């Protein structure tokens, strides 16, 4: 079969389109990525290659544009990803927040690019398993992503063997998942703890409550500095004064937004607003 190709013009068109729609930056040199993600999509639509796909996008096929954007975002995730932030959450951050919210008995957590759901479900499992005192609290766990396909997968909460092998302790797998053919189905008691909605971080955000914890992990790395600054600014306005922002291992607020301070003692990407 012939190698997929992409012209410079078509690459520039795709780069502009995904930047406008989801803020993802595709620098020259990423042609291989566009080819590997969009050639299979073109084929699924009965098109011979990326050229005809771009022709259809130029004729403004909205459904197809959404599919292209969803094909271009990276959705890599896993249960308890990077381990350390989750240990810190369990040992330090959650006990502190629970103490601070004891009077109102409510916690508000937002997972702001939740991919296929492993991140919010890791926290839901943690709350259920290790914090039984929260059983009669109001736990508001809201998870959002731009990708409708990822939201659909998240709501289904069905994972492959490979996915449950990545980061999920066996004890939690056996206790909270049921094997169903080649998949593992998450128990409804955990699944129902998380609400999933579409949200594009690069566009104005809807009204939302003040959050005690905002997970904003492994998504800003794909954006340019102006978009990162805008997102961090908005996150600061929806974060409680004593709440935490959690970034991914390769992300920082440094040189982007000086209203945050990294909580060095926690050593795992937790930030708070400066007093
Ligand atoms: C690499 S995954 C990170 C998932 C999870 N936070 C983690 O760290 O494991 C990045 C996610 O960001 C989502 N995403 C990309 N651009 C976005 C945008 N503009 N608004 C909201 N979500 C976006 C993608 O769909 C993808 O699911």
Alpha-carbon distances of 214 from 140, 170, 225, rounded to whole Å: 12, 27, 20
Question: Angle, to 10 degrees, between the axis of helix 62-72 and the axis of helix 8-22?
Answer: 90
pLDDT above 60 for 3: yes
How is residue 222 annotated by DSSP? G
Please give the number of the atom of ligand 1 that sits closest to the Cα of 201: 20
- Collapsed DSSP state (helix, strand, coil) of residue 28: coil
pLDDT above 60 for 1: no
Residue 165: CB partners within 8 Å, gap ≥ 6?
Answer: none
Q: How far is the CA of 218 from the centre of ligand 1 (A)?
A: 7
pTM for this one?
A: 0.97
Query: Two tokens at 169?
Result: 């302790």
CB count within 10 Å of CB 245 equals 26
Gap between the Cα atoms of 219 and 98, Å rounded: 28
Query: Read out DSSP for 121-183?
Result: HHHHHHHHHH-GGGGGSEEEEEEEES-HHHHHHHHHTEEEHHHHHTT--HHHHHHHEEEETTE
- Spatial strand order in the sheet of 239-247: 194-198, 138-145, 106-111, 211-216, 239-247, 270-273, 260-262
Q: How far is the CA of 102 from the centre of ligand 1 (A)?
A: 32
Gap between the Cα atoms of 268 and 89, Å rounded: 9
Contact between 61 and 68 (Cβ < 8 Å): no
How buried is residue 149: exposed, middle or buried, by Cβ count under 10 Å (0-12/13-18/19+)?
A: middle
Mean of pLDDT values over 38-50: 96
Sign of the C-alpha dihedral, residues 225, 226, 227, 229?
positive
pLDDT in tens, 226-245: 999 999 999 999 999 999 99
CATH for the stretch 84-273: 3.40.50.150
Mean of pLDDT values over 64-76: 97
Protein residue with least CA distance to atom 15, ligand 1: 73
Protein residue with least CA distance to atom 27, ligand 1: 115
Please give the number of the atom of ligand 1 that sits closest to the Cα of 23: 19
Does 153 contact ligand 1 (Cβ within 6 A)?
Answer: no
> Residue 164: pLDDT band by 50, 70, 90 thresholds?
very high
pLDDT in tens, 195-212: 999 999 999 999 999 999
Mean of pLDDT values over 22-33: 96
Break the chain into its structural domains and give their ranges: 8-72, 84-273
Does 248 contact ligand 1 (Cβ within 6 A)?
Answer: yes
Protein residue with least CA distance to atom 9, ligand 1: 77
pLDDT at position 267 is: 86
Q: Considering the chain, what percentage of its residues have pLDDT values greater than 90?
A: 97
Mean of pLDDT values over 112-121: 98
Fold equal for 8-72 and 84-273 = no
Cα-trace Rg, the chain: 20
Q: How far is the CA of 9 from the centre of ligand 1 (A)?
A: 27
Mean of pLDDT values over 41-62: 94
Contact between 75 and 115 (Cβ < 8 Å): yes
The fold of the 8-72 domain, in CATH, is Chemotaxis Receptor Methyltransferase Cher; domain 1 (1.10.155)
Q: How far is the CA of 99 from the centre of ligand 1 (A)?
A: 31
Mean of pLDDT values over 267-275: 95
Mean of pLDDT values over 78-102: 97
Does 73 contact ligand 1 (Cβ within 6 A)?
Answer: yes
pLDDT at position 2 is: 64
Gap between the Cα atoms of 122 and 83, Å rounded: 10
pLDDT above 90 for 48: yes
Gap between the Cα atoms of 100 and 94, Å rounded: 10
Contact between 74 and 248 (Cβ < 8 Å): no
């Amino acid at each position: 079969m012939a190698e997929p190709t992409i012209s410079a013009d078509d690459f520039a068109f795709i780069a502009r389109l995904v930047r406008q729609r989801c803020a993802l930056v595709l620098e020259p040199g990423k042609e291989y990525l566009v080819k590997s993600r969009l050639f299979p999509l073109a084929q699924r639509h009965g098109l011979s290659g990326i050229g005809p796909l771009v022709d259809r996008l130029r004729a403004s096929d909205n459904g197809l544009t959404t599919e292209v954007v969803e094909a271009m975002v990276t959705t890599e995730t896993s249960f308890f990803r990077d381990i350390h932030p989750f240990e810190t959450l369990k040992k330090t951050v959650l006990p502190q927040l629970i103490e601070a919210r004891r009077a109102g008995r409510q916690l508000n957590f937002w997972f702001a690019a939740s991919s296929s759901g492993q991140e919010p479900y890791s926290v839901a499992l943690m709350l259920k398993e290790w914090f039984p005192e929260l059983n009669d609290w109001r736990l508001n766990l809201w998870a959002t992503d731009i990708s409708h396909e990822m939201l659909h997968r998240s709501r289904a909460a069905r994972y492959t063997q490979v996915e449950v092998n990545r980061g999920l302790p066996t004890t939690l797998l056996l206790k909270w998942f049921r094997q169903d053919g080649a998949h593992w189905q998450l128990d409804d008691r955990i699944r129902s703890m998380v609400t999933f909605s579409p949200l594009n971080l690069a566009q104005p955000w809807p009204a939302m409550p003040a959050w005690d914890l905002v997970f904003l992990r492994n998504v800003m790395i794909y954006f340019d500095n102006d978009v990162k600054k805008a997102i961090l600014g908005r996150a600061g306005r929806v974060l409680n004064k004593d709440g935490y922002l959690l970034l991914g291992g390769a992300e920082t607020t440094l040189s982007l937004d000086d209203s945050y301070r990294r909580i060095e003692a926690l050593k795992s990407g937790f930030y708070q607003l400066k007093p």
